[in-house]
Every structure is written in structure tokens, then in C-alpha cells.
């Protein structure tokens, strides 16, 4: 029969083993993923701000043109919406390409 000191040593080793396993298998990968998520969110924010500023500049430019003065004053807004949808569609198409997804999963 094992003594009390031997049982407490085994329990301490078990606790140490469990905490080491949890740190290696869960916390470290979560920290690595957190870095990628942070960079992704920052990149998404800057792309959104850039698209907004480009759209605003394009809208202001279209509003200065003479064909859009009185009757067609709504047309610049529609053109900017269509241009933004085209840009978002291109970005979505590029992000969901099969070759891009396959090259990510190989790493």
C-alpha cells in the first residue's frame, strides 16, 4: 500500500502534468490565433476606412460634373453604390478562391 507522502507526490505530479498539458495544447495555440485575428481585424478596419474615403472622394468628384446637376442629381449616389458593390464582389471572389484556400490549409 502506498504511503500518504507517495500519494500526495503522485497527485502533485498529476496536477503539474494537467496544467502543463492545458498550457501547451490550449493556451499557446489560442495566443497564436489571437495574433492572426488581431491583424485580420486591423486590416479589415483599414480596408473599410480606405473604401469609405475612396467612395466619398468618388462621390464628390461625380457631383462636380455637369451632367449630374439638376435632374440626375441622384445618379452619383447610385454609381458609387454600384462601384462599392463591384469592389466588395471582387474582394469576396479573391478571398474565396479554391487555390487560395488550399494553399492556406497546406501550411
Q: pLDDT tens-digit profile of 29-84?
A: 888 888 888 998 999 999 999 999 999 999 999 999 888 888 888 999 999 999 99
CB 58 within 8 A of CB 83: yes
Residue 97 has a pLDDT of 81
CB 11 within 8 A of CB 17: no
| 91, pLDDT greater than 90 | no
Residues 5 and 17: their CA atoms lie apart, in Å, by: 18
Backbone CA torsion sign across 66, 71, 77, 83: negative
Which ranges constitute the DSSP H helices of the chain?
A: 4-22, 28-64, 75-95, 98-106
pTM, to two decimals: 0.63
Q: What angle do CA 53, 55, 56 make, to 5 degrees?
A: 65
Residue 16 has a pLDDT of 93
Amino acid at each position: 500500500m502506498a504511503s500518504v507522502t507517495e500519494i500526495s507526490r503522485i497527485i502533485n505530479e498529476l496536477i503539474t502534468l494537467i496544467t502543463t498539458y492545458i498550457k501547451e495544447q490550449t493556451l499557446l495555440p489560442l495566443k497564436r490565433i489571437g495574433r492572426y485575428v488581431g491583424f485580420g481585424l486591423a486590416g479589415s478596419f483599414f480596408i473599410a476606412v480606405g473604401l469609405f474615403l475612396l467612395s466619398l472622394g468618388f462621390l464628390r468628384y461625380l457631383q462636380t460634373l455637369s451632367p449630374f446637376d439638376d435632374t440626375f442629381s441622384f445618379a452619383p449616389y447610385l454609381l458609387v453604390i454600384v462601384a462599392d458593390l463591384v469592389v466588395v464582389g471582387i474582394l469576396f471572389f479573391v478571398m474565396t478562391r479554391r487555390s487560395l484556400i488550399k494553399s492556406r490549409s497546406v501550411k
